[in-house]
Structure 1
Amino acid sequence: MNQALPQEAIDLFVLEQQHFATAPQRFFAAWKRGVQLAGPEWFGDGTQEGLLHATSKGELRPNVLLLNDALGVLSRGQRLFLSAMVSFYNAREGGAMLKRCGFAGLSDLSGLDLARRRVIADLLLHHEGW
């Protein structure tokens, strides 16, 4: 007995295929927006020019050592946003940074403004590993 898949299942499969086909480009676009919002000094070569000319997320890796040193002087919102971004690059390092700053869970993201929330949401939606 040969049964056809329901149209809903086929539509969902096609939608997922389309999503994951564009996920890397969409992740990079969201990452660049996040770097711009956070400040390029924390990523890649630390310059605005480096941000403008980056063609891959690898060129905009977070400077984890610099960020860890600066956590004590950044505002609460800066610490949260930067630590959350680092979490996409390295879950262990980002998680440790979030814990060090006193952030307990995802609901703490409610402390971010809309632009930063959108970056984190887009990163989460399109993340496929670093």
Structure 2
Amino acid sequence: MNRALPQEVLDQIELEHQHFAAAPQAFFEAWKRGARIAGAEWFGDGTREGLQRATTKWDLRPNLLMLNDALGVLSSGQRMFLSAMVSFYNAREGGAMFKRCGFEGLSDLGGLDLERRKVIADLTLNYNGW
């Protein structure tokens, strides 16, 4: 017996396919927005020109050594935002940064302003691995 899937199931499958096909570019756009907000100095070659020229997430890898060195002098909001971004690049490094800063869970992201929350939400929604 050949039974077709209900139309709503097929529609959901198609929506998910479209979303995940577009996710890598959407992730990059959110990542670049986040790098612009946080400051070009923390990503890629550390310059605004490098940020402008970036065409992939690889062009904007976080500078982990510099970030870890500066963690103690950044504001609480900067530390939280940068730690969250780093956690998409490297979960272990991002988790260690969160721990060093005293952040315990996702509810701590409630301390971010709307612009930064939207970046983290878009990164989460479109994450497809680094």
TM-score range, shorter chain: over 0.9
Q: Where does structure 2 lack aligned partners over 5 or more consecutive residues?
A: none
Q: Where do 4+ consecutive residues of structure 1 move more than 4 Å?
A: none
Distance 1:4 1:126 in 2: 30
How far does residue 32 in structure 1 lie from its aligned partner after superposition?
0.4
State the partner residue of 2:42: 42
State the partner residue of 1:80: 80
- 1:62 and 2:62 equivalent? yes
Distance 1:2 1:127 in 2: 36
State the partner residue of 1:93: 93
Identity fraction in percent? 75
How far does residue 61 in structure 1 lie from its aligned partner after superposition?
0.2
State the partner residue of 1:122: 122
CA RMSD of aligned residues (A): 0.4
How far does residue 109 in structure 1 lie from its aligned partner after superposition?
0.4
Q: Please state whether the residue corresponding to 1:72 is helix, strand or coil.
A: helix
Q: Deviations over 1:52-98 (max 9, x none)?
A: 00011001000001000000000000000000000000000000100
Task: Read off the aligned partner of 2:37 and give its amino acid letter.
Answer: L
Task: Read off the aligned partner of 2:45 and give its amino acid letter.
Answer: D
TM-score (norm 2): 0.99
Q: Please state whether the residue corresponding to 1:71 is helix, strand or coil.
A: helix
TM-score (norm 1): 0.99
State the partner residue of 1:25: 25
Task: Read off the aligned partner of 1:93 and give its amino acid letter.
Answer: E
Distance 1:7 1:109 in 2: 38
